[in-house]
Amino acid sequence: MTPCERTRIEAHPIILYDGVCALCNGVVRYLLQHDRNDQFRFIPQQTPLAEELLAAFPATPAPEGVILITAALTPNQSLYRRSDAIDQALHLLHRPYPILARTLRFIPHFLRELGYSCIARYRYRLFGKYSTCPIPTPSQQKRILGIQ
């Protein structure tokens, strides 16, 4: 991790996503537009930077699905996976997203995970797949990291 990357990441919530998934890239573009405070940073899971961040959580299995790391590179950092990552990310956004997250919490965890698994299993068929991670635009480069 370069000093510049460290500065851009430290204390921010980081979303690790499947960089070749069209659905995942669409969600990243949506979050870039709706994150009013520019708090989120995004890193494709297929990058060395993502591997380096995940090394801080040795008991974590290989990346599968979306991962959220809150307060990255601080002693208070926490890792959330799959539907829990989505729930926590919604809480960090402004209205109406925290309300949506509270509503989702009424759904039992095993049902949220089942729904997440169904979408994850068929996402390439339904939404497509890139051959490589798309290159961020110049305005996105300060928030999408790990891609040269």
| The two three-digit tokens of residue 20, written as one number | 């070749």
Per-residue pLDDT of the chain (148 residues; tens, 9 = 90+): 888 888 989 999 999 998 888 888 888 888 888 888 889 999 999 899 999 999 888 876 666 788 999 999 999 999 999 988 888 888 888 777 767 777 777 889 999 999 999 998 999 999 999 887 777 888 888 888 887 6
Q: Give the angle subtended at the CA of 43 by the CAs of 93 and 143, to the nearest 5°.
A: 60
CA-wise closest residue to 85 among 54, 126, 55? 54
pTM assigned to the model: 0.87
CA-wise closest residue to 133 among 26, 28, 46, 32? 46
User: Roughly how many angstroms between the first and final C-alpha of the chain, as a whole number?
Assistant: 13
**Every domain of the chain and the residues it spans:** 3-127
| CA atoms of 71 and 78, how far apart (whole Å) | 7
Q: Which pLDDT score, from 0 to 100, does residue 39 have?
A: 92
Residues in the chain: 148
Question: Given this structure, which CATH class describes domain 3-127?
Answer: alpha beta
Q: Which pLDDT score, from 0 to 100, does residue 139 have?
A: 80
DSSP run (H or E) holding 91: helix 82-92
Q: Which pLDDT score, from 0 to 100, does residue 78 have?
A: 93
Burial class, 122, CB count within 10 angstroms (exposed 0-12 / middle 13-18 / buried 19+): exposed
Q: Which pLDDT score, from 0 to 100, does residue 10 have?
A: 93
